[in-house]
Amino acid sequence: MDLCHRLRDAAKPYWDASVNHRFVDQLLAGDIADEVFGRYLVQDFRFCDTFVRLLGAAVCAADDPEARLTHARQLSVLAGGEYRYFIDSFEALNIPESQWKNPTLSEPTQAFIALMEKACDSQDYALMLVVLVVAEWLYLEWAQRAGNTLPPRPEHRDWIVLHNEPDFVRWVGFLCNELNRVGAERDFETLREPFVEACQIEQRFFDMAFDGMR
Ligand SMILES: Cc1ncc(CO)c(N)n1
């Protein structure tokens, strides 16, 4: 088994709970409450801001010119299509700028930001890749649960498509190959610990969307 699959196995309870979370069930069915999805998107917009910093750090820390360009290209996706997705969805969900510009950060948002900032500050490419692989591979796995019929509302449908379209599949494949490559000579435990922590936070992030709901 390659390194990425060994890491995923080590985090299996949290990984599976996230991929099969009721948040995902309801999003794929298109029947997620606007209040739940809106709360999630407002927090995720802040997650993505720090995620951009992490990708920038990966551009800096990567040991290979081709890899630097691949990270740089993905930055343009976040700054382009994904940014537009958030703005359009806040409008569709009637979430005013005052609510998404400066929200109170939930516990899992804070925890994820702290983990990403730690990876940035470490200047350790392998550690950055651990966090990138969890965030992107786990999102690919839940989005690949989607069948042929996608939910009709763009804010639901586009969030799924952003995470299972062919470009995203290639991006995740790249990240896993990079971690398998640069993580090969690293002590497994030093990678396992942040990998599992990131998976635990992913689960709490989906839980958080339902805070205050039944
Ligand atoms: C919390 C979270 N994890 C992963 C992704 C995918 O980048 C995201 N948008 N949000």
Per-residue pLDDT of 77-131, as tens digits, reads 999 999 999 999 999 999 999 999 999 999 999 999 999 999 999 999 999 999 9
Residue 165 Cβ inside 6 Å of ligand 1? The answer reads no
Residue 175 Cβ inside 6 Å of ligand 1? The answer reads no
Query: Counting atoms of ligand 1 from 1, which one is nearest the CA of 43?
Result: 1
What is the sign, positive or negative, of the torsion defined by CA atoms of 18, 40, 207, 110?
positive
Residue at 154 is within a domain: yes
Residue at 162 is within a domain: yes
The number of angstroms, rounded, from the C-alpha of 144 to the middle of its chain's C-alpha atoms is 14
Residue at 173 is within a domain: yes
Residue 103: left (phi > 0), alpha (psi -120 to 50), or beta?
Answer: beta
Residue at 213 is within a domain: no
Mean pLDDT of 16-35: 98
Question: Cα(84) to centroid of ligand 1, in Å?
Answer: 16
214 has a pLDDT exceeding 60: no
- Percent of the chain clearing pLDDT 90 (strictly above): 97
Binding positions for substrate: 44, 82, 136
> Residue 117: how many CA atoms within 13 Å on its side-chain side?
9
Residue at 214 is within a domain: no
Q: ipTM strictly over 0.90? A: yes
Residue 40 Cβ inside 6 Å of ligand 1? The answer reads no
Give me the CATH number covering residue 88. Answer: 1.20.910.10
Instruction: Decide: 17 and 203 in contact? Cβ < 8 Å.
Output: yes
DSSP assigned state of 105: P
For the stretch 128-167, pLDDT in tens is: 999 999 999 999 999 999 988 999 999 999 999 999 999 9
Based on the residue annotation, tell me whether 202 is a catalytic residue of this protein: yes
pLDDT at 213: 66
Residue at 145 is within a domain: yes
- DSSP character string of 27-50: HHHT---HHHHHHHHHHHHHHHHH
Chain mean pLDDT for the chain: 97
Residue 44 Cβ inside 6 Å of ligand 1? The answer reads yes
How many domains would you assign to the chain? Answer: 1
Closest CA to 78 of 49, 106, 38: 49
Query: Counting atoms of ligand 1 from 1, which one is nearest the CA of 48?
Result: 9
